[in-house]
């Protein structure tokens, strides 16, 4: 069978699952008691195993299988999560990642995982408790018996908790159904069919209890049928038809349960429970349906099952970025034709044509918005791998630290997202390795044991800022200078007059490192110079601010290349320009007599002060416009930091969302222009760079 | 065996020039050009070529020839060198010829007022046609442009 077409899908989905496994594991590490998270992890691992086995990646499947075994014990409360278990599981995840990586690069996905598998097996063997504390040995014993494959008769055992749920539902006027579903004998994927049934049911109500349990059904640990208690509002007949409509379902029996039967069941069950508790293993063989004591494991599963309903899968598809580019370009061509049509319609003066062209115009501007937004990706896709990385780093360095991420939803153009990952990894490693002190040092300095690294992303003006701030020891200016002088980067003379900022920039010089001892994380003098050049190649730059003893802030400023900004479109005679809305303070009109000449420059009153008035037409040598002969001039007040200036322009066109495009590699940097955008009529308009206009 | 190449032929004034067809992306009719202020006079501005903003230079201006009015013969040849895409405004472009690489001779010092360094050579086509092969890398060399600019100042 040709698997190639599935391979890329497999790789994508595996990466997703690995990512979510990593995230959830970290979450679990924060709250090891939360069985709900374990359930999610288990499901991810289980899906991964299934996919790997289908694709024939045996090692991958084998490893996930062992992980599953451990997780299974955890979620059944037979194993408490402990540090070494976390470590082993994280190691397994790394091994899985390596294998998927190998597959991505065309390999077989083979790897020697025997040591990890052995470690996982040891956890399974060594940590199965013979009996839970509190004399619940019978309950512990009950679970393995229940999970045995041979279940003679379909039956559902309810515990008190579940009874009370059912009772309350009945009291609230919901229907309670006892459902038995059997699957056709020749069915190949029983678990999948059962899953479909559950999926269907969970959409129209709530499954209170099933036998065998959901997990066992998922593992195909059931014969041909399963039964469950179900709360719903729907009509039983309708439900039955819905279930039978699923393929390969042989029969579905739906029996409504009323409060009388329920109390009966409860009474019986109580009696039974007291009898059978000492030897709960036999409960599986009890003939009477719908009753008996519940095992401890079932109680644990209940809240988790409820949680599963809440988590709706996100509905996305993956698209090759090149296709988006093609779409974008095709769309621009469409716009040109639209404008031509508009012109034709006006010439022909056909009412109907004009109307349909207008409608087309509205549709295409909606389309334009969507196409533009398609390229934007939340920086979350870069950030989401950092928590794990920082955790591992901190652990290997024996430090304690929190990574606080804010602004992960900040959107950046896809091309920038693809490139920015590595530089950020370097900076983060640098902060963890060099910034944050060891625990002892922190205590000595009177700081909390746990260091904090803040990772922030936000839009500001035409730029996206990504900041990495630690509360570590800060940068020691003298140490850097000493090292720089020793390496001959600067002379002693020079060093005296250098500003702090200049000194910090030395960190980014090639071959420069101040780490006293070389760690395998950072400190070999490679890294920061690479970071700088990478960011520079993206058109951005890095700045450093630091306070000795209090911490360091690395701020990466990236241009919004290819991204979308809101801009004010203006006219200068026949030419159109876009001014980024983010730097506009306000717009207005001034009369000629309000303009004052002071020392050869023009000033206009603005609020309580005077601000310079700049002639945009003169600055850009506009061929067919000058505001000099106008009595009243439209102005745009722009801002750079706390400085303001007014630009005299011809007229306003309106506000627009525009895509920033660069002017092409050939053109040198043009002062006052930050890029170009393509207007609705297919023409290019230049985007002003207000920062360059205010000196 | 001499290597055969295909060459796009375009006209500037009375001369015919050639560019290797591999370097040419498309040939467009004259279209609206957005002026880019504060740059060299031969850079006419930028155009929107199917969603990509591409700078356009007047090849006459680039070679210090007298610039003329554009007419319906005027073409913009979009060339790609490395990662650079640039449009050349030329008087006309209407031919593709096959050439032996061997038939390209090294250029004389000045051809039609164009400095030899911008040229790859001169090729003879048929009996009486001379084709001047452009050295695109030099034509698009910005360092050289900056130098030029300094001389003018």
Q: What is the pLDDT of residues B17-32, one digit of tens each?
A: 889 898 899 999 999 8
A359-396 per-residue burial string, b: 16 or more CB within 10 A, e: under 16: ebbeebeeebeebbeebbbbbeebbbbbbbebbebbee
Residues A264-287, buried b or exposed e (16+ Cβ, 10 A)?
ebbeebeebbeebeeebeebbebe
The pLDDT tens digits for A237-272 are 777 887 877 777 777 777 777 777 766 666 655 555
What is residue A141's predicted lDDT score, i.e. its pLDDT?
38
Q: How far is CA A50 from CA A47, A88, A223, B90, in A?
A: 5, 21, 20, 62
Q: Residues of chain B with pLDDT > 70: what percent?
A: 84
Query: Do A293 and A167 belong to one domain?
Result: yes
Q: Which residue has the higher pLDDT, A78 or A301?
A: A78
Please give the pLDDT value at position A455.
Answer: 92
pLDDT of residue A138: 37
| Most confident segment among A201-210, A258-267, A382-391 | A382-391
**Average pLDDT of span A369-390:** 82
Chain A contact set for B54 (CB, 8 A): 664
* Structural domain contains residue A320: no
* One domain for residues A112 and A209: no
The answer on pLDDT for A297 being more than 70 is: no
Q: Is A462 part of the annotated catalytic residue set?
A: no
Return d(Cα B59, Cα A526) in angstroms, integer: 45
**What is the model's pLDDT at position A561?**
52
Same domain, A176 and A293: yes
CB contact under 8 A, A328 and B34: no
ipTM computed for the complex: 0.84
Task: Tally Cβ neighbours within 10 Å of residue A89.
Answer: 25
For residues B53 and A246, the model is more confident at B53
For residue A660, give both structure tokens. Answer: 């920033």
Q: DSSP secondary-structure letter at A517?
A: S
Of A519, A540, A559, the position where a domain reaches its end is: A559
Cite the DSSP H helix spans in A205-258. Answer: 214-218, 236-245
User: Are A238 and A336 part of one and the same domain?
Assistant: no
The answer to whether A246 touches A200, Cβ cutoff 8 Å, is yes
Domain, as residue range, for A355: 325-375
For residues A410 and A556, is the Cβ–Cβ distance under 8 A?
A: no
Give chain A positions within 8 Å (CB) of B48.
332, 336, 678, 682-684
What residues of A are in contact with residue B55 (Cβ under 8 Å)? Answer: 663-664, 666-667
Beta bridge partners of A611: A604
- Residues in B touching A676 (Cβ below 8 Å): 34, 46, 53
Give the residue from chain A lying closest to B52, CA to CA. Answer: A329
Fold exhibited by the domain B4-152? OB fold (Dihydrolipoamide Acetyltransferase, E2P) (2.40.50)
The whole-angstrom distance between A669's CA and the closest CA on chain B is 9
Residue partners of A532: CB distance under 8 A and separation at least 6: A508, A541, A542
Summarised one tens digit per residue, pLDDT across range A165-179 is 777 777 777 777 788
Report yes or no on A433 lying in a domain: yes
- B36 vs A673: CB contact, 8 Å cut-off? yes
Residues whose CB falls within 8 Å of the CB of residue A683, separated by 6 or more in sequence, listed in order:
A576, B32, B34, B48
Tokens read off for B150:
């300094």
C-alpha to C-alpha distance for A381 and A420, rounded to whole angstroms? 11
Is residue A116 included in any domain, yes or no?
yes
Query: Which string of DSSP letters, residue by residue, matches A62-77?
Result: HHHHHHHHHHHHHHTT
- Which residue would you say has higher pLDDT here, A276 or A678? A678
Residue B55 has pLDDT above 90, yes or no: yes
* B38/A668 touch (CB, cutoff 8 Å), yes or no: no
Do residue A292 and residue A408 come from a single domain? no
pLDDT above 70 as % of chain A: 81
Nearest by CB: A664 against B38, B50, B54: B54
Q: Give the 3-state secondary structure of residue A374.
A: helix
Range B35-42 average pLDDT: 86
Structure-token match 């990574």, residue found: A403
pLDDT at B152 > cutoff 70? no
Mean pLDDT across the stretch A20-39?
A: 82
Q: Residue A417 domain-assigned?
A: yes
Q: How far is residue B149's CA from residue B152's CA, in Å, rounded to a whole number?
A: 5
Task: Using DSSP, state whether A239 is helix, strand or coil.
Answer: helix
pLDDT digits (tens, 9 = 90+) for A607-622: 888 899 988 888 888 8
Q: What does pLDDT average to over chain A?
A: 76
* B24/chain A closest Cα distance in angstroms: 16
Residue A146 has what pLDDT?
38
How many CA within 13 A on the CB side of residue A382? 28
Instruction: Please give the torsion angle defined by the CA atoms of residues A573, A579, A583 and A586, in that order, rounded to the nearest 10 degrees.
Output: 50
What residues contact residue A646 under an 8 Å CB cut-off, 6+ apart? A590, A604, A606, A611, A612, A613, A614, A635, A636, A637, A638
Q: Which of A22, A76, A430, A691 is catalytic?
A: A430
Which residues of A make CB contacts under 8 Å with B? 328-333, 336, 575, 619-623, 661-668, 670-673, 676, 678, 682-686
Residues from chain A contacting residue B52 (CB–CB below 8 Å): 329, 661
> Is A96 a residue whose pLDDT tops 70?
yes
Contact between chains at A666 and B55 (C-beta distance less than 8 A): yes
Catalytic hit among A17, A22, A23, A46 = A46
Same domain, A359 and A269: no
Q: Give which of A577, A668, A671, A688 to mutate to test B binding, by max B Cβ within 10 Å.
A: A668
Q: What is the Cα–Cα distance from A584 to A693, expressed in whole angstroms?
A: 13
**SS3 per-residue string spanning A116-148:** HHHHHHHHHHHHCCCCCCCCCHHHHHHHHHHHC
Tokens 């909606």 correspond to A366
Quote the pLDDT of residue A276.
Answer: 44
Residues A415, A500: one domain? yes
Q: Provide the pLDDT for residue A294.
A: 41
Contact B37, B45 (CB under 8 A): no
Most confident of the following: A47-56, A323-332, A627-636: A627-636
Q: Give the strands of the sheet with A584-591, arranged side by side.
A: A584-591, A632-640, A643-649, A609-615, A601-606, A596-598
* pTM beyond 0.80, yes or no: no
Cβ atoms of A664 and B46 within 8 Å: the answer is yes
In this structure, of A22-36, A314-328, A503-517, the range with the lowest mean pLDDT score is A503-517
Give A478: exposed, middle or buried? Use CB within 10 Å, 0-12, 13-18, 19+. exposed
- What pLDDT was estimated at residue A270? 53
Cβ pair A116, A95 in contact under 8 A: yes
The alpha carbon of residue A190 is apart from the nearest alpha carbon of chain B, in Å, by 52
Kindly give the pairing relationship between strand A584-591 and strand B119-125. Answer: unpaired
For residue A522, the domain's CATH number is: 3.30.565.10
Contact A686 B83 (CB under 8 A): no
Query: How much is the pLDDT for B109?
Result: 65
Nearest to A140 by CA among A128, A124, A152, A156: A128
Q: Where are the domains of chain B?
A: 4-152
Q: Identify which has the larger pLDDT, A264 or A89.
A: A89
Domain with residue A586: its CATH number is: 2.40.50.180
Residue numbers in A near B89 (CB within 8 A):
none
Give Cα separations from A530 to A414, A420, A510, A642 (angstroms). Answer: 21, 12, 8, 33
CATH code, A152: 3.30.70.1110
B interface test, pick of A667, A671, A678, A693 with most B CB neighbours within 10 Å:
A667
- pLDDT at position A156 is 57
Residue A239, pLDDT score? 79
Q: What is the pLDDT of residues B103-146, one digit of tens each?
A: 787 766 665 556 677 778 888 887 778 888 888 888 887 665 55
pLDDT score, position A312: 52
- What is A449-484 written as a DSSP string? SSEEEEEEEEEETTEEEEEEEE-S----HHHHHHHH
In a domain, A316, yes or no: no
A134 occurs within a structural domain = no
Among candidate residues A68, A97, A218, A627, the one labeled active-site is: A68
* pLDDT score, position A518: 45
Query: Could you tell me which of A232, A233, A251 has the C-alpha nearest to residue A241?
Result: A251
A114-128, A425-439, A517-531: which range is least confident on average? A517-531
Say if the Cβ atoms of B48 and A678 lie within 8 Å. Answer: yes
Question: Do B46 and A682 count as a contact with CB atoms less than 8 A apart?
Answer: no
Do A337 and A384 fall within a single domain? no
**Domain end point (choices A375, A390, A413):** A375
Per the CB < 8 Å rule, is B51 touching A331?
yes
- Element spanning A378, H or E: strand A376-378
Regarding whether A654 and A626 lie in a shared domain, the answer is yes
- Statement to judge: residues A570 and A584 lie in one domain: yes
Over residues A420-479, the pLDDT tens digits come to: 888 888 888 888 888 888 888 888 888 888 889 999 998 876 678 899 998 888 888 888
Q: Which of A332, A667, A676 sits opposite B39 (nearest CB)?
A: A667
Please tell me the predicted confidence (pLDDT) of residue A570. 93
pLDDT at A492: 80
Judged by average pLDDT, the poorest of A2-6, A159-163, A453-457 is: A2-6
Catalytic residue list contains A248? no
Active site residue A430: yes
Q: Which residue has the higher pLDDT, A442 or A219?
A: A442
Mean pLDDT of A227-234: 79
Q: Which of B47, B83, B85 sits opposite A684 (nearest CB)?
A: B47
* Same domain, residue pair A539 and A441: yes
Q: What percent of chain A has pLDDT over 90?
A: 6
For range A536-549, the mean pLDDT? 80
Residue B142, min C-alpha distance to chain A (Å)? 7
* Number of independent structural domains in chain A: 5
Instruction: Tell whether A283 and A417 lie within a shared domain.
Output: no
> What is the pLDDT at residue B46?
92
Helix axes of A296-310 and A137-147: crossing angle, nearest 10 degrees: 60
Structure tokens, A466? 């990504």
Burial of A466 (0-12, 13-18, 19+ CB in 10 A): buried
The answer to whether residue A589 sits within a structural domain is: yes
Asked whether the beta carbons of A638 and A644 are under 8 A apart, the reply is yes
d(CA A257, CA A165): 13
Residue B75's pLDDT is 92
Give dist(CA A247, CA A218) in Å, integer.
17
What is the distance in angstroms between the Cα of A412 and the nearest Cα belonging to chain B? 19
Whether A56 is covered by a domain: the verdict is yes
User: What integer is the mean pLDDT of A32-49?
Assistant: 82
């Amino acid at each position: 069978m040709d698997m190639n077409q599935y391979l890329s899908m497999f790789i994508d989905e595996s990466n997703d699952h690995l990512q979510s496994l990593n995230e959830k594991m970290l979450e679990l590490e924060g709250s090891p008691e939360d069985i709900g998270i374990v359930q999610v992890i288990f499901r991810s691992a289980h899906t991964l195993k299934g996919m790997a086995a289908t694709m024939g990646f045996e090692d991958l499947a084998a490893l996930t299988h062992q992980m599953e075994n451990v997780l299974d014990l955890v979620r059944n409360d037979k194993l408490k999560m402990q540090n070494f278990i976390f470590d082993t599981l994280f190691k397994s995840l790394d091994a899985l990642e390596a294998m998927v990586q190998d597959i991505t690069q065309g390999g077989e996905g083979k790897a020697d995982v025997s040591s990890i598998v052995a470690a996982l097996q040891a956890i399974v063997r060594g940590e199965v408790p013979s009996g839970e504390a509190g004399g619940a040995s019978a309950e512990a014993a009950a679970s393995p018996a229940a999970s045995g494959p041979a279940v003679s008769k379909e039956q559902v055992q309810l515990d008190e908790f579940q009874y009370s749920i059912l009772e309350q539902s009945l009291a609230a006027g919901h229907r309670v159904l006892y459902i038995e579903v059997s699957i056709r004998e020749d069915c190949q994927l029983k678990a999948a069919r059962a899953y479909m049934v559950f999926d269907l049911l969970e959409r129209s109500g709530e499954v209170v209890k099933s036998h065998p349990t959901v997990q066992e059904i998922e593992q195909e640990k059931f014969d041909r049928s399963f039964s469950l208690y179900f709360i719903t509002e729907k009509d039983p007949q309708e439900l039955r038809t819905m279930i039978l409509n699923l393929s390969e379902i042989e029969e579905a029996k739906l029996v409504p349960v009323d409060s009388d039967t329920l109390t009966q069941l409860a009474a019986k069950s109580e009696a039974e429970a007291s009898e059978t508790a000492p030897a709960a293993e036999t409960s599986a063989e009890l003939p009477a349906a719908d009753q008996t004591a519940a095992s401890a494991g079932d109680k644990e599963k209940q809240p988790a099952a409820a949680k599963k309903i809440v988590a709706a899968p996100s509905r996305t598809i993956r698209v090759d970025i090149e296709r988006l580019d093609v779409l974008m370009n095709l769309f621009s061509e469409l716009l040109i034709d639209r404008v031509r049509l508009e012109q034709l319609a006006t010439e022909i003066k056909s009412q109907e044509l004009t109307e349909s062209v207008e409608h087309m115009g509205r549709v295409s501007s909606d389309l334009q918005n969507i196409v533009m937004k398609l390229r934007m990706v939340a920086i979350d896709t870069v950030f989401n791998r950092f928590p794990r990385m920082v955790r591992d780093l901190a652990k290997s360095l024996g430090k304690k630290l929190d990574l606080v991420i804010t602004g992960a939803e900040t959107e950046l153009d896809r091309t920038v997202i693809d490139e920015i990952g590595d530089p950020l990894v370097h900076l983060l490693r640098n902060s963890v390795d060099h910034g944050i002190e060891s625990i002892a040092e922190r205590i000595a300095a009177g700081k909390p044991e746990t260091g904090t690294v803040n990772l922030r992303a936000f839009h500001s003006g035409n730029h996206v800022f990504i900041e990495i701030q630690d509360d570590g020891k800060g940068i020691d200016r003298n140490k850097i200078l000493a090292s720089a002088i020793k390496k001959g980067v600067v002379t002693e003379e020079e060093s005296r007059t250098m500003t702090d900022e200049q000194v910090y920039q030395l960190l980014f010089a090639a071959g420069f490192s101040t780490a006293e001892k070389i760690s395998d994380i950072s400190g070999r003098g490679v890294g920061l110079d690479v970071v700088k050049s990478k960011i520079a190649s993206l058109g951005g730059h890095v700045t450093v601010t630091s306070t000795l003893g209090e911490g360091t802030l690395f701020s990466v400023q990236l241009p919004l290349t290819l991204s979308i900004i809101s801009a004010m479109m203006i006219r200068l005679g026949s030419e159109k320009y876009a001014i980024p809305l983010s730097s506009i303070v306000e717009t207005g009109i001034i009369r000629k007599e309000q303009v004052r000449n002071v020392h050869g420059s023009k000033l206009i009153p603005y609020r309580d002060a005077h601000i310079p008035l700049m002639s945009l037409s003169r600055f850009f040598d506009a061929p067919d416009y000058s505001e000099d002969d106008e009595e009243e001039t439209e102005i745009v007040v722009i801002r750079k930091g706390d400085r303001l200036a007014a630009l005299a322009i011809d007229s306003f066109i309106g506000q627009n969302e525009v895509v920033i495009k660069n002017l092409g590699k050939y053109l040198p940097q043009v002062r006052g222009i930050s890029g170009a955008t393509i207007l609705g009529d297919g023409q290019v308009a230049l985007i002003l760079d207000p920062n360059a206009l205010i000196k | 065996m001499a290597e055969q190449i295909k060459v796009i032929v375009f006209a500037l004034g009375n001369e015919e020039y050639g560019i290797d067809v591999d370097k040419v992306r498309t040939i467009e009719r004259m279209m609206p050009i957005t002026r880019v202020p504060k740059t060299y006079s031969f850079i006419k501005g930028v155009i929107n070529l199917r969603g990509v903003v591409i700078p356009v230079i007047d090849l006459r201006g680039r070679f210090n020839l007298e610039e003329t009015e554009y007419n319906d013969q005027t073409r913009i040849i979009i060339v790609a060198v490395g990662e650079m895409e640039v449009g050349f405004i030329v008087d006309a472009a209407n031919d593709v010829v096959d050439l032996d690489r061997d038939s390209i001779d090294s250029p004389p010092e000045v051809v039609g007022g164009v400095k030899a360094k911008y040229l790859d050579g001169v090729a003879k086509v048929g009996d009486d046609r001379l084709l001047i092969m452009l050295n695109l890398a030099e034509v698009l060399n910005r360092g050289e442009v900056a130098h030029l600019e300094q001389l003018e100042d």
